[in-house]
A = this chain, B = another copy of it.
């Protein structure tokens, strides 16, 4: 039973790694599409969100089977439920990448982000990518040192968001209301992505160490 439980939990872990890789790829592709007004690229991100949702359903099904067949208790049970929480966060990260791609589509063929903000969105995307990469790594390798770094990455994202808002609300902003509204919503998508990643990271630490 114990062996079987371990094997099932590992399989759930593998599905979560696939999800983490997929949401990382999605945000990276969404950013590229956003900054280059690449319609096909953005459409691919939107289409592939369904794959991420399907992976999450697979996690849910596997967890339900595991609970039904093995009726884990105590810390084993907590680990299983924690896997579900990680899946929920990753699924939401996929949605946020999709939102970025849809913003690109909404303004196509124009570029949604004024040249002045390309740098800050590039940095936000880098942090998002680093965070998603760490989650993948931590899930796959159980290297919890990396998981603990996630909070710092999230602080950096918050700083960037604050700096961006200062730009938007500065009297020298010349790109008008639409570009400001787009940028504010986009910044929020990246910031929420990082938040969910940190949340997932906390759950992963728990999954690996049993300590929250």
Q: Which residue numbers of A lie inside 8 Å of B, CB to CB?
A: 60, 63-64, 67-68, 71-74, 77-78, 81, 84, 88, 165, 168-169, 173, 176-178, 180-181, 184-185, 188
Partner of A67, one of B77, B88, B180, B188: B77
| Contact for A188 among B64, B68, B178, B185, CB less than 8 A | B185
- Given A177-B169, A188-B188, residue A64 in contact with residue B88 (CB < 8 A): no
**Partner among B169, B177, B184 whose Cβ is within 8 Å of the Cβ of A173:** B177
* Residues of the B chain whose Cβ atoms lie less than 8 Å from the Cβ of A64: 77-78, 81
Q: How far is the CA of A89 from the CA of B175 in the complex (A)?
A: 36
The 9 sampled A-B contact pairs (Cβ below 8 Å) are: A67-B77, A68-B77, A81-B84, A165-B181, A168-B177, A181-B184, A184-B185, A185-B185, A188-B188
A71-B71, A184-B185 given; name 5 further pairs at CB < 8 Å.
A68-B77, A177-B177, A177-B180, A180-B180, A185-B188
| Chain B residues with CB under 8 A of A185 | 184-185, 188
Instruction: Indicate how many identical chains form the complex.
Output: 2
Q: Tell me the smallest distance from the CB of A181 to a CB of chain B, in Å.
A: 4
Tell me, in angstroms, the Cα distance from A78 to B65 when the chains sit together.
Answer: 10
Chain B's nearest CB lies how many Å from the CB of A5? 13
Q: Which 9 A-B pairs have the closest CB atoms?
A: A71-B71, A68-B73, A181-B184, A177-B180, A169-B178, A68-B77, A180-B181, A177-B177, A67-B77
CB-CB under 8 A from A67, the residues of chain B are 67, 71, 77, 81
Residues of B contacting A84 in the complex (Cβ-Cβ under 8 angstroms):
81, 84
Q: Which residue of B lies closest to A181 (CB)?
A: B184
**Residues from chain B with Cβ under 8 Å of A169 in the complex:** 177-178, 181
A188 to B188, CA, bound (A): 10
From B68, B78, B81, B168, contact of A181 by CB (8 A): B168
Give the nearest-CB partner of A179 in chain B. Answer: B177
